């Protein structure tokens, strides 16, 4: 059995797909690509796929992760190509590595988000960010399956900054870009919770819905606020792994081969 970890995207209109919709599309792609999946035991076997910290419906993402278990070994890069041929545009597998370490979900400590606020001046967004960061706590409400819940959105924010962007539009409206690093806590704090916090602390209310994209997720460096690649430990382990038995046999065969035609002995 082999485990492969994949990084995939949700772009364009596909950001509106729910996680369940993605699961169905991905499992269809596995069948079309004839991936030799391992299956669970029981009366209704299911392909062994583990999803990790999926982005909320309506947000784009450049860094979603999952792990699949195979019944036969496959080259990760070739597998990625086959899956992309079977997935719809916007759902793209951009990285694939063989799992050589444990705890992928544990390494998803934080996410980097970009929030585009059309119709909001960068200066206005900057003042709202300052007010949010200056607050010791920012209580927000969100409706959950069990009803309305109140929690602190400020505690999860490791970094928040505003930047301007020139937008070529006939109406000349401004556009502010927020860059946000959020720790994965319980309860989970989402980008829309931070927007609710900005509205509560600075009365920031964009005239149109914000466009939200996850840029990265992984281990959080508390000193710098950087989020590192969660697949890097698997790549490092592959580099440090000893040669396989097949590789050693091939090397011996090469070293023991007879001289090529035209080569003589001294």
**Selection from 53, 66, 75 nearest residue 2 by Cα:** 75
Task: Report pLDDT digits (tens) over 154-185.
Answer: 999 999 999 865 554 555 678 999 999 999 99
- pLDDT for 261: 40
pLDDT at residue 145 in the model: 80
Residue segments in the chain with a per-residue pLDDT below the cut of 70: 164-172, 242-266
CATH architecture of 108-227: 2-Layer Sandwich (3.30)
What is the predicted pLDDT for the residue at 165? Answer: 57
Rounded to 5°, the CA angle 38-60-84 comes to 40
pLDDT (0 to 100) of residue 164: 63
Q: Where along the chain do its domains lie?
A: 2-106, 108-227
Q: Tell me the helices (H) and strands (E) count for the chain, helix number first.
A: 6, 11
Q: What is the pTM of this model?
A: 0.85
Q: What is the CATH number of domain 2-106?
A: 3.30.70.580
Domains 2-106 and 108-227 are alike in CATH topology? yes
Per-residue pLDDT tens over the stretch 100-134? 999 999 999 999 999 999 999 999 999 999 999 99
């Amino acid at each position: 059995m082999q485990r492969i970890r994949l990084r995939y995207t949700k772009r364009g209109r596909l950001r509106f797909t729910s996680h369940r919709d993605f699961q169905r599309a991905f499992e269809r792609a596995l069948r079309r690509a004839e991936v030799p999946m391992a299956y669970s035991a029981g009366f209704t076997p299911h392909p062994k796929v583990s999803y990790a910290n999926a982005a909320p419906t309506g947000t784009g993402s450049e860094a979603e992760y999952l792990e699949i278990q195979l019944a036969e070994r496959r080259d990760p890069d070739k597998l990625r190509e086959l899956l992309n041929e079977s997935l719809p545009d916007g759902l793209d597998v951009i990285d694939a590595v063989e799992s050589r370490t444990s705890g992928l979900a544990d390494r998803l400590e934080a996410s980097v988000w970009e929030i585009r606020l059309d119709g909001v001046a960068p200066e206005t967004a900057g003042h709202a960010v300052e007010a949010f960061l200056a607050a010791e706590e920012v209580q927000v409400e969100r409706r959950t399956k069990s009803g309305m819940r109140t929690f602190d959105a400020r505690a999860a924010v490791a970094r928040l900054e505003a930047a301007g962007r020139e937008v070529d539009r006939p109406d000349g409206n401004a556009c502010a870009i927020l860059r946000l690093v959020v720790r994965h806590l319980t309860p989970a704090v989402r980008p829309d919770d931070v927007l609710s916090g900005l509205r509560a602390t600075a009365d920031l209310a964009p005239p149109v819905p914000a466009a939200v994209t996850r840029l990265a997720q992984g281990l959080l460096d508390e000193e710098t606020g950087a989020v590192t690649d969660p697949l890097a430990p698997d790549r490092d382990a592959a580099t440090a792994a000893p040669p396989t038995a097949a590789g050693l046999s091939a090397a011996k065969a090469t070293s023991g081969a007879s001289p090529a035609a035209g080569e003589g002995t001294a």
